[in-house]
């Protein structure tokens, strides 16, 4: 396999067009197109679907480009180390659930970065994407969140894909709401108390081997008449702080963040479901010094913010 052809394919994927990629790479379009076809023939796969919209990655192509980026990046790093005399760049990359105790740990971890070159990637997403980011993107670590009753499904998937997993914590979700919400004034909250309020929920739950409709039914019971689905924590906090008729199921939130948005969090006495946050990475990957620094902050944040809600 020609490394130069691999570089060409990554650029075509980035630009989504042979024409645009040829301008960036400063090579003729026919030569670039021929190089991509030779690469596909060498690999025995179709990397791109050609259409009027441009060059679209196939599922196999998306996986290949993920690996190709890693290889090209490693080649670049080796060249920098041995040719340029530059200090080795610190790399940290992780995909996590939308959890405030984790973002709190990440914020404190960021203060430990020194003046050496570094690239830090922090992405909030669901469990499936966390796995994919490790397998086919440039991420070294992930934290998956799932209900404990799905433990066997996730562990089977992780074993199959050659991923190591370590428990971070187990916890019960709590309810977050505005401090002047009628719900906040209740001494005890039950499921039935939530029916007339607007639930804010994340829109992308995932459990392997189970239909999404079943997962959503279990994770989002049908006794709520109105829901707003969001993907970002910033959106959820803005909604909660603006509308006293909203609530959200969350992993325990640091007090500082609650105060910033004028929120409170309370237990629901009917809620007995246990959730797990699990650290994942490749079995052949060795945790680096910078990884361990983040994990130390994560453990501290976990003990500080979640211990009283277990």
pLDDT value, residue 86: 58
Quickly list DSSP for the chain: --HHHHHHHHHHHHHTSHHHHHHHHTS-HHHHHHHHHHHHHHHTS--EEEETTEEEE-HHHHHHHHHHHHHHHHHHHHHIIIII-PPPPEEEEEEE-S-HHHHHHHHHHHTT--SS-EEEEEEE--HHHHHHHHHHSS-SEEEEEEEGGGHHHHHHHHHHTTEEEEEEEEE--EEEEETTSGGGG-SS--GGGGTTSEEEEES----TTS-HHHHHHHHS-TT-SEEEEES-HHHHHHHHHH-TTEEEEESPPPHHHHHHHTEEEE--TT----EEEEEEEETT----HHHHHHHHHHHHHHHHHTGGG-
Q: What is the pTM of this model?
A: 0.69
CATH, domain range 90-164+277-309: 3.40.190.10
What is the pLDDT, as a whole number, of residue 158?
A: 94
Structure confidence by residue, pLDDT tens digits, 239-279: 999 999 999 999 999 999 999 999 999 999 999 999 999 99
pLDDT at 105 (0 to 100): 97
Report residues of the chain scoring pLDDT below 70: 81-88, 204-222, 309-310
pLDDT in the model for residue 222: 61
What is residue 209's predicted lDDT score, i.e. its pLDDT? 47
**Domain covering 173-266 in this structure, CATH number:** 3.40.190.10
pLDDT tens digits for 101-118? Answer: 999 999 999 998 877 788
Per CATH, 3-61 and 173-266 having the same topology is answered: no
User: What fold characterizes domain 3-61?
Assistant: Arc Repressor Mutant, subunit A (1.10.10)
Domain boundary assignment for the chain: 3-61, 90-164+277-309, 173-266
């Amino acid at each position: 396999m020609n490394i130069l052809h691999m570089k060409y394919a990554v650029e075509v994927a980035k630009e989504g067009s042979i024409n645009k990629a040829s301008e960036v790479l400063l090579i003729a379009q026919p030569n670039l197109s021929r190089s991509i076809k030779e690469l596909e023939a060498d690999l025995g796969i179709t990397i791109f679907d050609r259409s009027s919209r441009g060059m679209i990655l196939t599922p196999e192509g998306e996986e290949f480009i993920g690996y190709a980026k890693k290889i090209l990046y490693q080649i670049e790093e080796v060249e920098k180390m041995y040719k340029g005399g530059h200090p080795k760049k610190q790399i940290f990359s992780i995909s996590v659930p939308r959890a405030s105790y984790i973002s709190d740990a990440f914020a404190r971890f960021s203060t430990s970065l020194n003046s050496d070159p570094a690239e830090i990637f922090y992405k909030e997403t669901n469990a499936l994407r966390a796995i994919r980011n490790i397998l086919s993107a440039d991420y070294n670590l992930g934290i998956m969140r799932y209900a404990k009753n799905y433990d066997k499904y996730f562990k089977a998937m992780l074993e199959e894909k050659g991923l190591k997993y370590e428990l971070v914590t187990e916890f019960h979700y709590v309810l977050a709401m505005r401090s002047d919400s009628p719900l906040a004034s209740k001494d005890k909250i039950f499921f039935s108390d939530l029916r007339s309020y607007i639930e804010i929920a994340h829109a992308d739950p995932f459990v392997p081997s189970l239909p999404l409709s079943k997962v959503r039914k279990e994770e989002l019971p049908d006794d709520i008449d109105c829901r707003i689905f969001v993907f970002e924590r910033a959106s959820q906090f803005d909604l909660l702080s603006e509308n006293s008729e909203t609530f959200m199921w969350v992993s325990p939130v640091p007090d500082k963040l609650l105060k910033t948005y004028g929120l409170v969090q309370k237990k629901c006495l009917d809620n007995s479901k246990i959730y797990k946050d699990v650290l994942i990475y490749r079995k052949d990957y060795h945790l680096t010094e910078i990884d361990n620094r983040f994990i130390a902050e994560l453990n501290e944040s976990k003990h500080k913010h979640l211990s009283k809600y277990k």
